[in-house]
Amino acid sequence: MSTPASVIPDHPRTLAEKVWDDHVVVKGEDGQPDLIYIDLHLVHEVTSPQAFDGLRAEGRGVRRLDLTIATEDHNTPTLDIDKPIADLTSRTQIETLRRNAEEFGVRLHSLGDKDQGIVHVVGPQLGLTMPGITVVCGDSHTSTHGAFGAMAFGIGTSEVEHVLATQTLPLKPFKTMAITVEGELRPGVTAKDVILAVIAKIGTNGGQGYVLEYRGSAIRSLSMEGRMTMCNMSIEAGARAGMVAPDEKTFAYLKGRPHAPSGRDWDEAVAYWRTLPSDEGAVYDAEVFIDAAELEPFVTWGTNPGQGVSLSGVVPAPEQFTDPNERAAAERALQYMDLQAGTPLKDVRVDAVFMGSCTNSRIEDLRAFASIVRGRRKADGVRVMVVPGSARVRLEAEAEGLDTVFTEFGAEWRFAGCSMCLGMNPDQLAPGERCASTSNRNFEGRQGKGGRTHLVSPLVAAATAVRGTLSSPSDLDDTADRVGAANQAKAV
């Protein structure tokens, strides 16, 4: 095949092992790390400035400009994008990235550019993210790209510098965990619900040191967008990365994208990609099984992504937790979230709904949201923000008329970026405000100081925006058809 096979081991291997083996530049001896080649390095304004400064101090350049791409996302405003950025820190970070990209020759998609957007939305959209490659970025949600069968993980700023200078990283192999979800998902149950259930099951540290490989019929039935949502949140289970074996859906998604291989390269690539799925009999370091049919729409009630329950359930009581640390954490979380144990989650009123973030801001996510809110009005007093993951998603949504659906519903239709996922820009919750959010982190203050976050799927976010309380589409009157349609498309 194309890659110089060091030595192809004769034992059955997992997907993760295959990708790893293909990227070993120097095998580490005596417990030393392997030197791993990096195929794609994504860069954004928050974690790159010191890396470029370090290169400058040592008189080094970027080794492979053709494997490096930068975009602006964390700090970008989602309104008035043609005006100067008001916040000084945000502006400095963005201006620094622009200067560094210019000086070192890195391709950059700036605010206003068609390919600007959240770094994890831009890579797949351009067809740069593909099976069997290694992807890194100075951002923990780099795990998103694993949906294509890539080995993708977040790195720190000194590692960003290391990759810029050498296109490699010294790494010790990760352990592997199979997460098998078998069966058919019920109507209205999406990838977001599955991953929230996985995290609630294995815990926010359950994946530590592992690459999670999502397998089983329920995963195969998900769209690429749904798989990205799952892999995106692997990090919330403490894992280094998440992966899904490539299949026909993966190839169909990639075909014809700007940077996808073409002609003979395409054939060669697909032939190689077909060899990637885990071999029969490959051994994982850990295994978890989930019955898809048992899953319901899921929502978090606490201040970490593992503190979640079925939306039809109630806020748990701290006494339910036998582990003293978990009990203490639950007590603190309930206090911060201002929730009483035993309250049905569907009685919880929200002030805001945030539809966006690298977990759920691709076109299918917006379509799912639109399928529920079309022809309706949002609940009084609820602020609804829809933020596309990239400028291109925004254009695509507008071409389909989704922007009108959103604005007629009473939502704000914004420009692309991380936005209220972390509130580095002006999109923040006020202290005490409660938000149903399609993002990935419900930590204290994540969406604004004192803000309270409930993580949900786009369908639940939409139903919640309609009713003003945490709701699933099945709580809406006369929506059987819409829910059915959204699910049929396996939208999210």
Partner 1 sequence: MEKFTTHTGVAAPLQRSAVDTDQIIPAVYLKRVTKTGFEDALFANWRQDPDFVLNQERYRNASVLVAGPDFGTGSSREHAVWALRDYGFRAVLSPKFADIFRGNAGKQGLVTGVVAEPDIERIWAAIAAQPGAQITVDLQARTATLGELQVGFEIDDYTRWRLLEGFDDIGLTLRNEARIAAYEAHRAGWRPRTLPVQPQPAD
Separation between Cα atoms, residue 141 and residue 12, nearest integer Å? 29
Least Å distance, CB 50 to partner 1, is 4
Q: Give kind and range of the element (H or E) at residue 100.
A: helix 88-104
Least Å distance, CB 118 to ligand SF4, is 5
Among 21, 115, 139, 475, binds ligand SF4 (CB under 6 A): 139
Residue 102 interacting with partner 1 (CB under 8 A): no
Amino acid letter at 474?
S
- 260 vs 470 by CB, closer to partner 1: 260
Q: Are 115 and 388 in contact (CB under 8 A)?
A: no
260-263 contact pairs (CB < 8 A, 24+)? 260/127, 260/130, 261/130
Amino acid letter at 286?
A
Q: Which of 324, 259, 244, 328 is nearest to 19 (CA)?
A: 244
Residue 157 interacting with partner 1 (CB under 8 A): yes
Q: With contacts defined by CB under 6 A, name the span among 7-15, 241-249, 302-310, 418-426 that binds ligand SF4.
A: 418-426
Residue given tokens 């790494």 in the structure block: 171
Give the Å distances, CA to CA, from 137 to 16, 39, 57, 147, 424. 18, 11, 22, 16, 18
Cα torsion 58, 63, 66, 68: sign = negative
Residue 36 interacting with ligand SF4 (CB under 6 A): no
- 44 vs 454 by CB, closer to partner 1: 44
- 97 vs 385 by CB, closer to partner 1: 97
* Interacting positions 284-343 with partner 1 (CB under 8 A): none
Separation between Cα atoms, residue 196 and residue 326, nearest integer Å? 17
Helix axes 363-373, 224-232, angle to 10 degrees: 100
Structure-block tokens of residue 453: 């976050």
Among 40, 198, 372, 421, binds ligand SF4 (CB under 6 A): 421
DSSP conformational letter for 469: B
The site map against partner 1 for 50-89 (x = CB under 8 A) is xx-xx--xx-x----xxxxx-------------------x
Q: With contacts defined by CB under 6 A, name the span among 29-37, 78-86, 320-328, 415-423 that binds ligand SF4.
A: 415-423
Which residues lie below 8 Å from residue 40, measured CB to CB, with a gap of 6+?
67, 69, 123, 128, 129, 133, 134, 135, 136, 150
Judged by DSSP in three states, 286 sits in: strand
DSSP conformational letter for 355: E
* Interacting positions 365-394 with ligand SF4 (CB under 6 A): none
Separation between Cα atoms, residue 444 and residue 446, nearest integer Å? 6
Residue 54 interaction partner, one of partner 1, ligand SF4, none, beta carbon < 5-8 Å per kind: partner 1
Structure-block tokens of residue 120: 């994890």
Q: Are 151 and 243 in contact (CB under 8 A)?
A: yes
The site map against ligand SF4 for 329-368 (x = CB under 6 A) is ----------------------------xx----------
Residue 358 interaction partner, one of partner 1, ligand SF4, none, beta carbon < 5-8 Å per kind: ligand SF4
Least Å distance, CB 422 to partner 1, is 15
Residue 74 interaction partner, one of ligand SF4, partner 1, none, beta carbon < 5-8 Å per kind: ligand SF4
Among 79, 102, 103, 114, binds partner 1 (CB under 8 A): 114
Separation between Cα atoms, residue 230 and residue 20, nearest integer Å? 21
* Interacting positions 376-435 with partner 1 (CB under 8 A): 395
Q: Which residues pair with 26 in a beta bridge?
A: 35
Residue 492 interaction partner, one of partner 1, ligand SF4, none, beta carbon < 5-8 Å per kind: none
Among 98, 220, 259, 274, binds partner 1 (CB under 8 A): 259
Least Å distance, CB 329 to partner 1, is 20
Report how many residues bind ligand SF4 under the rule CB under 6 A.
Answer: 13
Which residues lie below 8 Å from residue 187, measured CB to CB, with a gap of 6+?
474, 483, 484, 487
Residue 74 interacting with ligand SF4 (CB under 6 A): yes
Residues that bind partner 1 (CB under 8 A): 1-4, 25-26, 35, 37, 39-40, 49-51, 53-54, 57-58, 60, 65-69, 89, 92-93, 96, 107, 114-115, 127-130, 133, 156-158, 161-162, 165-168, 170, 258-259, 261, 265-266, 268-269, 272, 395
Interface residues with ligand SF4 (CB under 6 A) are 73-74, 118, 120, 139, 141, 357-358, 418, 421-422, 439-440
